[in-house]
A and B are shown apart, each in its own frame.
Chain A
Amino acid sequence: MTGLSHATTREILSVSRLKVYFPLKRTIEEVLARKQKVLKAVDDVSFSMEEGSIMALVGESGSGKTTIARTVVGLVNPTSGRVLFRGRDVFSLRGEEFKEYRRKVQMVFQDPTVSLNPRMKIGEQVKYPLDVNKVSTPEQRREKAIKTLEAVGLTPPEDFYNRYPHQLSGGQRQRAAIARALILDPELLVADEPISNIDVSARAQILTLLRELKDQYHLSILYITHDLSSAWAITDKVAVMYLGKIVEVAPTTEIFKEPLHPYTQALMSAAPILGEHTPGKRLVLRGEIPSPINPPPGCRLHPRCPFATETCREREPEILPIGKDHTVACHLYSKS
């Protein structure tokens, strides 16, 4: 284990000017004209994460948040831009070094029913990454799997080791998926909507677990979600995405207290708040998120934004720093 672990920077992950475009199926005319349309899933996105922190990427479906997650773990290749892990460009790593990166960055998927193999015992699946990487002896691997099952709260672990996924509740399955992601002692965990497919009563359990694991394993967690209340509860920093762009980034308490971007404001005011029978002042956006195949020119939100001006229709907003650690991409805040 050399290289990656020796960097001294406090920044664990940095994404810079990342673009991920997917080619679309071509019509005959397009083939003949040698044209290729693309879907710009992630379009020039930059952000960074500090070691030992939990950062949320918040957005609706089609915003590009899952594509970022998949790019960070190396499942998708970027069209351009860089992903830096402890200062090193991930996509320039080759061979053994890239494999080492893959071990250090693990992912938890949305639906544990799909991400777990239904025909394999829980313990065997949790142990599998160790088998693949031929870490230590078979006995030691089994021992480690049992320890990890215990760490994620599947107790007694010997009992859960021999069960199959269908014998577990949704929350327990997600715990098993988290155990599998943890067994290689990763430094960064990418969790893609880990609570959206499980029951309400198990959600707070999983969130608590993530927070405990962060401290216990000194993990950093990139938490992808559309659920604002969970982002409020466990994250240190929030980045809000809309149609492939980050529109606002700020420390969690700040962004919830004072959301600046109209899209962030709309998201916040749409979150159901308990105890209030009639919702207060709400910012309602017109229509729905458009297709990322033909995003609107200028600011991508302008057709839906109540504050849109001529400038918004024509020019893409720059990312403006507002105070410490708070940035927003909106013409409303530019000085001119």
Chain B
Amino acid sequence: MRELRVSYNTRRGRVEALSDVSLALNEAEVLGVVGESGSGKSTLGLAIMRLLPRYAKVERGEVIFNGKDILKMDEESLRQLRGREIAIVFQDPYSSLNPVTRIIDHFAELFREHGYNYSREEVLRTAAELLEKMGVPREKVLDYPHQLSGGQRQRAAIALALALNPRLLIADEITTALDALVEAQIVDLLREVKKEYKTSMLFITHNMGLVAQLADRVAVMYAGKLVEAGETGQVIRNPRHPYTKALLTAVPRIGGSRSLQPIPGEPPDMRNPPPGCRFHPRCPLASEVCKRETPALRSIGDRLVACHYA
């Protein structure tokens, strides 16, 4: 992904959701994308899939997948790509599951769309096996989505996404709506998927704790910009960007100090983002230069950081 810039045209003016973001994802790697609402992390996932709403505009940049720019593909190549090469799972499983369609028919449609001539029995067997692998009882294959529990629905959505063994799975806040215990189960499942299928994953979340458990590398986003990226363990142990640091200390650690260290201030108004470094109004290190100049993303060792003081 190179220099991707995406804006939304809203009634109250132009909002730049992604500002020249460049990111690379290697084969069989899990990249955690961490950010709060408005950071642009979901726009990122949608842009890769070319699923952005009509009022969105890709102003510049490219998304190279296997040597081809997804943003320049025609409809037919896109159709081939989606589901087979890249699949996406959303926070709400109903975004991928149709409430009036049985689980099995979701699989049947996917196979048909991609030119597999499976008999009903073959679809049934394949779908049931996949569900079972993802931890959903086989017999649920004949059920409608609402007959599954919340965790099962999300597992079914993951099974469907993985049915054609895509090379990239985009998971957009897929555990956010789930309870803590189910969330942990889904993260375990993704870890197994990574091990077994060697699927690359873009794991989009606001929860640094989940990233720590799953991702090889992490990219931290703030107000449409990439502020820091690096190997997960290192970023967590030694964050270089003040926002990453603040995000890590803002979550109280169980068993640790009970003093809270909130991030001061409010998230920026994206219609009118602060000049210079977008984090400067909330940053303890901010100085004159931060108000004036946008810090470039620099590599420091194996880390990418966009901060004048890193």
A289 CB contacts on chain B under 8 angstroms: 179, 181
Instruction: Name which of B55-63, B121-129, B194-202, B246-254 contacts chain A.
Output: B246-254
Interface check B213, CB cutoff 8 A: yes
B254 near A273 with CB under 8 A, answer: yes
Partner of B236, one of A199, A202, A257, A274: A274
B251 near A274 with CB under 8 A, answer: yes
B262 CB contacts on chain A under 8 angstroms: 201-205, 207-208
Smallest Cβ-Cβ distance to B259: which chain A residue: A233
Consensus secondary structure, chain A interface: helix
Interface check A172, CB cutoff 8 A: yes
* 15 A-B pairs with C-beta separation under 8 A: A60-B181, A172-B266, A199-B37, A201-B263, A201-B282, A203-B250, A203-B251, A205-B263, A208-B260, A228-B254, A233-B260, A271-B254, A275-B212, A284-B185, A288-B151
Consensus secondary structure, chain B interface: helix
Q: Please report the C-alpha to C-alpha distance between residue A278 and residue B232 in the assembled complex, in whole angstroms.
A: 12
A230 and B250 in contact, given A204-B263, A274-B208, A276-B212 (Cβ under 8 angstroms): no
Which of chain A's residues 25-78 have a Cβ closer than 8 Å to chain B? Answer: 60-61
Interface check A335, CB cutoff 8 A: no
Interface check A305, CB cutoff 8 A: no
Which of chain B's residues 228-247 have a Cβ closer than 8 Å to chain A? Answer: 232-233, 236-237, 246-247
CB distance from B269 to the nearest CB of A (A): 9
Q: Please report the C-alpha to C-alpha distance between residue A289 and residue B151 in the assembled complex, in whole angstroms.
A: 10
Partner of B266, one of A171, A270, A284: A171
Interface check A285, CB cutoff 8 A: yes
Which of chain B's residues 174-232 have a Cβ closer than 8 Å to chain A? Answer: 179-185, 187-188, 206-210, 212-213, 232
B188 CB contacts on chain A under 8 angstroms: 284
A201 near B183 with CB under 8 A, answer: no
Q: Chain A residues in contact with chain B, CB under 8 A?
A: 60-61, 169-172, 199-205, 207-208, 211, 226-230, 232-234, 256-257, 266-268, 270-279, 284-285, 288-289
Partner of A270, one of B36, B181, B237: B181
Partner of A233, one of B187, B206, B236, B252: B252
B181 near A266 with CB under 8 A, answer: yes
A226 near B180 with CB under 8 A, answer: yes
Of all A-B residue pairs in the complex, the 7 with the closest CB atoms, nearest first, are: A272-B209, A204-B262, A233-B252, A270-B184, A60-B179, A201-B263, A205-B262
B213 near A272 with CB under 8 A, answer: yes
